[in-house]
Amino acid sequence: MSDLESLNELRIIRREKLAHLIDEGKDPFKIEKYEVTHKSGTIKEQFDSMEGQTVSCAGRIMSKRGQGKVGFYDLQDSEDRIQIFAKEDSIGEENYKDLKTYDIGDIIGVKGEVFKTKMGEVSIRATEIILLSKSLQILPEKYHGLKDPDLRYRQRYVDLIVNPEVKDTFIKRNLIIRALREYLDERGFLEVDTPILNTIAGGAAAKPFVTHHNTLDIDMYLRIANELFLKRLIVGGFDGVYEIGKMFRNEGMSIKHNPEYTAMEVYKAYVDYEYMMELTENVIAYMCHKANGTTKINYQGTELDLTPPWRRASMHDLVKEKTGYNFYDFDDIEEAHKVAKDKLHLAVEKHMSAGHLVNLAFEEFCEKDLIQPTFVLHHPVEISPLAKRNPDNPNITNRFEAFINTWEVANAFSELNDPIDQKRRFDDQLIQREAGDDEAHMMDHDFVNALEVGLPPTGGLGIGVDRVIMLLTNSPSIRDVILFPTMKPIEE
């Protein structure tokens, strides 16, 4: 008999057990509720004060052992596991007979007295055990568990049952996001909600998901960023707003990329990118300390110190340091292209300016060395259509990206509030789209109109929440910190 045939046979047996219970008027799926007075973790932690008390618990059978008229069962609830001690004399002959047919994975309700066995294990001496839900599937075997990553992500519900540390990761995720909100709320920022469905994919350089609105008969886009709506709110008179929510980018997938991900964007009037740098390093350090009790972490064997202040360095300086070239110094763009292609072996395209070459060289030669927290400043204006130009150098912007462990975790700038310059840059982006760059920004006339109404000097920041959580929970893949990551369907 093959493993598959054996598994199917076990599933058939479980269904036969359920049919037998139904025939006897004991259908567990007709039970609507069960009174739970205590959880397993609380009982174990407070045993000294709870010994001898009668409690009512509910959870899933994770193991069973025993013989004759005595049985031991491990019950797992949302907090922990606790041993159930069941005797035929205590729960009755008929109930004990039923209990012996229950399977690992079944959900039961238990009433009984808290005690400690001779081996020192906190347990419940059952006086009542009721089947609340019959598991018709087979949980992974105890010693091998659920190890296949693809199956774990597809069946997260099973992953959470058999790998308790997974639940700990998502409990910590909740703590980290609450710390992020707490930090911003305490500083007077207002949390808001903006549209997920947009008529223009704006606020970032990314490829959007396209959908269709039947009633309006128009194509719409799942948002790639919420930046332009949040800045409209600053125009409208709010001094500081933020949003934590899902973004969608129809791009590649990797250990640090999921098409649907969580981001936080925050905007504040009358501040600049320097303020946002301080906010970034302080809020991430705060989240880390809340989650781990320290601002120093070990990520996959690498020691990282998130304690502010973080290193600051201009993008073009980093490129010159690694390559020996500053592309802004070239008088002839064709000569710059030749150096980039022949000397640095970069994939140069005809439309690229000096700023594009700086960014290309940075991604190729510099990112991989940004291990400790670093702010990379002064991105080229060509790749920063929403950022203010640097007053001393019109080729660069007052923008930064924060890197940790070679990953970009945050992006921020002094927001462009000149509507004439903004319109010109949108026009330049349209030219780049026509040249084949499908990530270039679309024209947004209403946003230009909002700037014409008047946007005060403003600082803005976006943080990739999932990547930060990866670092703070020592998770090797972004899929490990997303409960239900995007997966390709299995063909039936």
Predicted local confidence at residue 433, as pLDDT: 80
Distance between CA 346 and CA 360 in Å, rounded?
A: 7
Residue burial 141-176, b: 16+ Cβ < 10 Å; e: rest: eeeeebeeeeebbbbbebbbbbbeebeebbebbebb
- pLDDT (tens digit, 9 = 90+) per residue, 80-120? 999 999 999 999 999 999 999 999 999 999 999 999 999 99
Cis peptide before 28 (omega within 30 of 0): no
Burial (CB count <10 Å: 0-12, 13-18, 19+), residue 211: exposed
Mean pLDDT, residues 361-378: 98
**β-strands 458-464, 407-414 pairing:** antiparallel
In 23-116, the DSSP E strands lie at: 54-67, 70-76, 81-87, 107-116
Specify the range with the lowest mean pLDDT, choosing from 396-410, 421-435, 468-482.
421-435
Distance between CA 373 and CA 379 in Å, rounded?
A: 18
Predicted local confidence at residue 398, as pLDDT: 97
Q: Can you name the residues that pair with 84 across neighbouring β-strands?
A: 73, 124
Q: Which domains does the chain have, with CATH numbers?
A: 3-139 (2.40.50.140), 164-310+372-480 (3.30.930.10)
Q: Can you name the residues that pair with 212 across neighbouring β-strands?
A: 219
CA distances 163 to 141, 166, 192, Å, are: 12, 6, 36
Predicted local confidence at residue 5, as pLDDT: 66
- pLDDT (tens digit, 9 = 90+) per residue, 18-44? 999 999 999 999 999 999 999 999 999
Phi-psi region of 116 (alpha: psi -120 to 50; beta: other; left: phi over 0): beta
pLDDT at 1 over 60: no
Residue 438 contacts residue 430 (beta carbons within 8 Å): no
Predicted local confidence at residue 2, as pLDDT: 62
Q: How confident is the model at residue 385 (pLDDT cuts 50, 70, 90)?
A: confident
**β-strands 393-397, 399-404 pairing:** unpaired
Q: Can you name the residues that pair with 399 across neighbouring β-strands?
A: 413
- pLDDT (tens digit, 9 = 90+) per residue, 134-144? 999 998 875 45
Q: How confident is the model at residue 490 (pLDDT cuts 50, 70, 90)?
A: confident
First-to-last CA distance in the chain? 23
**Geometric angle at alpha carbon 286, from 280 and 291, rounded to 5°:** 130
Residue 382 contacts residue 315 (beta carbons within 8 Å): no
**β-strands 407-414, 399-404 pairing:** antiparallel
